[in-house]
Amino acid sequence: MNKQEFNEILDFAIDREKEAVEFYRSLQQEAKFADQINMLKELEAMEMGHIIVIEKLRQTGARPEDIQRTPNLMISEYLTADAESLDMSYQSILIRAMKREENSFKLYSEMSVKFPDAEISTLFRRLAADEAKHKLTFEKLYDDWMSAGN
């Protein structure tokens, strides 16, 4: 993989994170309560943090030993609701976030096997692993919320 290909992949990933930032910003406009707005601002900040992580990959590269395995609670996979049609409840916001991270994970995982180049595959696997961590964060929040009897 040459430097240009590497940077194009990172630019693609950064664009996806920027879309997520805009997604959470737009949801803030729909939110009706201060707590919802604050949570959505936290999610927006988390996505902006992901951009920083991806930018760091530009300097360090992606190494197989940096790819961490993340447990999958499989919560979002079992939820069949159309995330885009949900209301602005706490539960719905978490479902939307889980589904968004799940889709990013799937995309990067699929891309990792489509490219025979080992470096490109490693980079996509690293991006997928990061998305799996993000998804786990939302799944834990959702699980805690459900366990509290909601």
- pLDDT value, residue 18: 96
> Which tens digits make up the pLDDT trace of 68-89?
999 999 999 998 878 778 788 8
- pLDDT value, residue 144: 92
Q: Please give the Cα distance from 129 to 66 (Å, whole number).
A: 10
| pTM exceeding the 0.85 threshold for the entire prediction | no
- pLDDT value, residue 21: 94
Domains of the chain: 3-147 (1.20.1260.10)
Where b means 16+ CB within 10 Å and e means fewer, 7-26 reads eebbeebbebbeebbebbee
Q: How confident is the model at residue 48 (pLDDT cuts 50, 70, 90)?
A: very high
